[in-house]
Amino acid sequence: MKPLIAALSLLCATVATAEDALAPISGYAFMEPATRELQDDDFLNPAFFLVDKGLALWDQPASNTGLSCRSCHQTIEQDMKGVAARYPQYDLGQSRLMNLEMKINSEIVDRLGGTALAYESEELLALTALIGLQSRQMPMAVDVTVEAQDWLVRGKKIFETKRGQLNLSCKDCHQNHWGEKLRGDTISQGQINAFPIFRLTWGEAGSRHRMFTWCMESIRAAPYGPGSDEYLALELFLAVRGRGLPMEAPGVRR
């Protein structure tokens, strides 16, 4: 942990430069060529097994109702096109902000009569990856309705709040110091267009919320929970901040 602390105190000493206006750049641009190549080739991409698994789940009938996703959404390419690029979204029926994972779970419960999948389970990652893939190369295009405004304000505040033993905010690293080196990483803008990702240092796939937790733990702050309101608000803020970036799901990162 010592080298990280040393690197971070250096970070804190530098004066913040880039302010709020930010032309979004994908994390892809900050990766080594070898990592990019993994993402570029669906056969090499280690996250792609999720898509295959997602397809199997898509067709799997629920034990009680006999319905599957396919019963209603026959052509996934058509029905789910651009959907992932529009989440998180305020859901009037549920009176809350929902990200794609939550929407998938509500479909499982309300339409299939099934049981919600655990956040970060391989099944939920798989369906998220499958639906995410149908927005590949489409620009992130979240729409913040009136009802979602408070969530957005909350997310921005969380992004800017200094926290943890190292007293750093998301913004300190991902807005004020992107492009700089930190241990083996180049700090990116912290964009969310590639999720779910296969992270080579994890040796497995993870969601946006898992990444938030990783970052919070690395500055020794107490993380929020996956699926928590705080992470949802943060996700909405990041989706707005990244508007226009092409979707890359399922992505590969270092």
Task: Output the 3-class SS for 158-193.
Answer: HHHCCECCCCECHHHHHCCCCCCEECCEECCCCCCC
- State whether the Cα torsion 172-174-177-181 is positive or negative: positive
- Interface with ligand HEC in residues 6-25 (CB under 6 A): 8
- Interface with ligand HEC in residues 123-182 (CB under 6 A): 127, 131, 168, 170, 172-174, 182
Task: Dig out the tokens for 158 from the structure.
Answer: 């969380």
Q: How many residues of this chain interact with ligand HEC, rule: CB under 6 A?
A: 37
Task: Dig out the tokens for 46 from the structure.
Answer: 């280690």
Query: For this structure, is 215 an active site residue?
Result: yes
Compute how many other C-beta atoms are within 10 angstroms of the C-beta atom of residue 136.
14
- CA 215 to chain centroid, in Å, comes to 13
Rule CB under 6 A: choose which of 25, 36, 46, 107 binds ligand HEC.
Answer: 107
Rule CB under 6 A: choose which of 156, 191, 207, 239 binds ligand HEC.
Answer: 191
Compute how many other C-beta atoms are within 10 angstroms of the C-beta atom of residue 244.
10
CB of 252 closer than 8 Å to CB of 198: yes
253 binds ligand HEC (CB under 6 A): yes
Least spacing, CB of residue 13 vs ligand HEC, in Å: 13
47 binds ligand HEC (CB under 6 A): no
| Sequence letter at residue 108 | I
Catalytic residue among 69, 72, 170, 215: 215
108 binds ligand HEC (CB under 6 A): yes
Interacting residues with ligand HEC (CB under 6 A)? 8, 27, 67, 69, 71-73, 83, 103-104, 107-108, 111-112, 127, 131, 168, 170, 172-174, 182, 185, 187-188, 190-192, 194, 197, 211-212, 215-216, 219, 234, 253
The residues annotated with a catalytic role in the active site are: 215
